Amino acid sequence: MKYRGIVIAVVVVGLAAAGIWYLNRPEPLQLQVAEVERGEVEATVANTRAGTVEAERRAKLAPTTSGSVAILPVRRGDRVEQGQLLLELWNSDLQAELAVARARVEAAEARASQTCVQAQSAEREAARLQRLRDQGSASAEATDRAIAERDAMAAACRASRADADIAERSVETVQAQLERTRLTAPFAGVVAEINGELGEVVTPSPPGIPTPPAVDLIDDSTMYVSAPIDEVDAPAVRVGMPARITLDAFGGRSFPGEVSRIAPYVLDREKQARTVEVEVVFNDQPEDAHLLAGYSADAEIITDVARDVLRVPTEAITEGGEVFVVDGEGILRRKSVTTGIRNWDFTAVTSGLEAGERVVLSPGREGVVDGATVIPVKDAPAP
């Protein structure tokens, strides 16, 4: 009876301890998990600060001479063709000078024609007297005078033709001065800005002092993105690498692109990281998305691709290269893994895991330790 009482007391104490432990046991963690799967992983490099959509050609135009605006046939936003007149300064004085120069050309050409006709007549007369002299019918004195007259008239013809040519050059000079008062489109594009109104005086920029252009013309047929890449990532980037361009103006929509240029120098900006400017062109400029120069943009450059590899969400891997796997009983097991290329979404796993295993997506959360009991919430959707 004595031992029986001891046994009963021990059982009661054990049940009480078990009840206390059960009532105070830690609640299982509810953790989001993702399944280890096979798929594709890209190694990417992204810009450190927002990039900018730029036009392949952009001209800030201004007349090369000063004057008041007399003709302004375009407005902001107008689409113009190559060679189209954008602006013309007052040039009535040059127009009059051009008319005078052309009249001088006509007069010079008329004088040249007259002189050359006389030269041809003198040549025929000299030839006639030469024949008569050979026959003994003309004197040597008359023949010599005819030859001298022929030579003089030939020289006068050449001089008058030279005068006509000089008059032509003067017309070209005035035309060149006239062209300096006109601003024409060097290429087809869109007028982005106009600084000036009818009657206002515009002047070219003094040396070393930039002033707003009279007309800002943008060729929007070809656009690209200029974006800064951290100097640490720049060595992995090559011209021709594929890229994805995203624009805030289109809700983060992605457009395929390609690296077209890498700056041959590093930008060193105060209080900012050193960066390399990279240019990415659109593979096919979207027709349904009207791109504007100046839009903010991001460029994600694909430097390497691993296909059909085991992969896990990058957030599931700790800084020490470990993951927490949920076994069939809901218990966490710490595992060391060997990783390959990675990006913000996925990391390739070369050893340490098998397809189908479930990994915790928040390994840094409090309570996530080896042996902890968890309740998997659901598999995380693939990014």
- Region 194-208: mean pLDDT is 81
What is the average pLDDT score of the chain?
84
Instruction: List Cα–Cα distances, 287 to 219, 258, 259, 291, 379, in angstroms.
Output: 15, 18, 21, 9, 38
> Are residues 257 and 267 located together in one domain of the fold?
yes
Residue 216 lies in a domain: no
Domain count within the chain:
4
pLDDT in tens, 252-271: 788 999 999 999 988 876 56
Domain range for 122 is 92-179
In this prediction, residue 12 carries a pLDDT of: 58
58 pLDDT above the threshold of 80: yes
At 19, is the pLDDT very low, low, confident or very high (cuts 50, 70, 90)? low
pLDDT in tens, 360-378: 888 888 888 888 888 877 6
In this prediction, residue 24 carries a pLDDT of: 45
In this prediction, residue 23 carries a pLDDT of: 42
pLDDT in tens, 95-108: 898 899 899 989 98
In this prediction, residue 372 carries a pLDDT of: 83
116 pLDDT above the threshold of 60: yes
In this prediction, residue 368 carries a pLDDT of: 83
> Are residues 289 and 354 located together in one domain of the fold?
no
CB atoms within 10 A of CB 104: 17
> Are residues 69 and 101 located together in one domain of the fold?
no
% of residues, the chain, pLDDT over 90: 27
CB atoms within 10 A of CB 11: 10
Gap between the Cα atoms of 332 and 31, Å rounded: 11
At 238, is the pLDDT very low, low, confident or very high (cuts 50, 70, 90)? very high
25 pLDDT above the threshold of 50: no
Residue 197 lies in a domain: yes
Q: In this structure, what token pair is assigned to residue 129?
A: 């007297």
127 pLDDT above the threshold of 90: no
Residue 16 lies in a domain: no
> Are residues 76 and 192 located together in one domain of the fold?
yes
> Are residues 248 and 271 located together in one domain of the fold?
yes
At 17, is the pLDDT very low, low, confident or very high (cuts 50, 70, 90)? low
pLDDT in tens, 142-194: 888 888 888 888 898 898 899 889 989 998 998 989 998 899 999 998 998 89
Q: What is the 3-state secondary structure (H, E, C) of the chain?
A: CHHHHHHHHHHHHHHHHHHHHHHHCCCCEEEEEEECEEEEEEEEEECCCCEEEEEEEEEEECCCCCEEEEECCCCCCCEECCCCEEEEECCHHHHHHHHHHHHHHHHHHHHHHHHHHHHHHHHHHHHHHHHHHHHCCCCHHHHHHHHHHHHHHHHHHHHHHHHHHHHHHHHHHHHHHHHCCEEECCCCEEEEEECCCCCCEECCCCCCCCCCCCEEEEEEEEEEEEEEEECCCHHHCCCCCEEEEEEHHHCCEEEEEEEEEECCCCECCCCCCCEEEEEEEECCCCCCCCCCCCCEEEEEEEEEEEEEEEEEEHHHCCCCCEEEEECCCCEEEEEECEEEEECCCEEEEEECCCCCCEEECCCCCCCCCCCCEEEEEEECCCC
> Are residues 256 and 225 located together in one domain of the fold?
yes
What radius of gyration do the chain's Cα atoms show? 44
> Are residues 241 and 271 located together in one domain of the fold?
yes
Instruction: List Cα–Cα distances, 292 to 51, 104, 265, 285, in angstroms.
Output: 13, 51, 27, 12
Domain C-terminal end among 305, 335, 353 = 305
> Are residues 110 and 166 located together in one domain of the fold?
yes
Residue 329 main-chain phi, psi, to 5 deg:
-100, 5
pLDDT in tens, 292-341: 888 899 999 999 998 999 999 999 998 888 999 988 888 889 999 999 98
Residue 7 lies in a domain: no
262: which strand partners?
A: 278
Residue 5 lies in a domain: no
Q: What is the CATH number of the domain that holds 313?
A: 2.40.420.20
User: pTM above 0.75?
Assistant: no
> Are residues 172 and 99 located together in one domain of the fold?
yes
Closest alpha carbon to 229 in 284, 191, 177, 279: 279
pLDDT in tens, 340-358: 988 888 999 999 989 989 9
Instruction: List Cα–Cα distances, 255 to 65, 258, 291, 301, in angstroms.
Output: 44, 10, 12, 12
21 pLDDT above the threshold of 60: no
